[in-house]
Amino acid sequence: MKFKNEAEFEKVNVFGKGQPNDAFAQYFVGDSFLNFLTKPGESPIGMANVTFEPGCRNNWHIHHAKSGGGQMLICTAGEGWYQEEGREARSLVPGTVIVIPPETKHWHGAKADSWFSHISVEVPGEETSNEWLEPVDTEAYNNLD
């Protein structure tokens, strides 16, 4: 279900919007928010609820790892998009789970007309890192339906 109204969205955003994602704002078009579900260093698995305002999306990026690694997205509220390089964008709704293997160039974010949240799970691995790349092409994003 799409949510244009932030107050209505927050009623179903069970893990909460959290704080402005200022540390990574340079890698996003629009405003995003982070609510850490595990404290950094507390667990080998990092988890955070990431909330995107309508139209917000992150840049293309790659999760690198010598072994293991990657990312999982568990969609919890609103509607969004996920796309791997060379593939069609996939619509995201609550209950969608995306498994992103390491070394896969991808992006994810809200639909233009809806707030969106997903839990981001950083899969443990050896020598993991994240490489931020170019923004998603605005015209291509605007043509998603």
Q: Residue 103's domain is classified under what CATH number?
A: 2.60.120.10
Among candidates 128, 25, 27, which has minimal Cα distance to 70? Answer: 128
Range of the domain at 20: 6-142
| 69 within a domain of the structure (yes/no) | yes
The pTM for the full model equals 0.95
The answer to whether 70 and 9 have CB atoms below 8 angstroms apart is: no
Residue 107 structure tokens: 């992006």
| 1 within a domain of the structure (yes/no) | no
- Tens digits of per-residue pLDDT, 30-67? 999 999 999 878 888 999 999 999 999 999 999 999 99
- Tens digits of per-residue pLDDT, 65-79? 999 999 999 999 999
pLDDT at residue number 61: 98
> Looking at the 3D structure of the chain, how many domains does it have?
1
| 11 within a domain of the structure (yes/no) | yes
| 133 within a domain of the structure (yes/no) | yes
What residues contact 65, with CB distance under 8 A and at least 6 apart? 102, 103, 123, 125, 126, 127, 128, 129
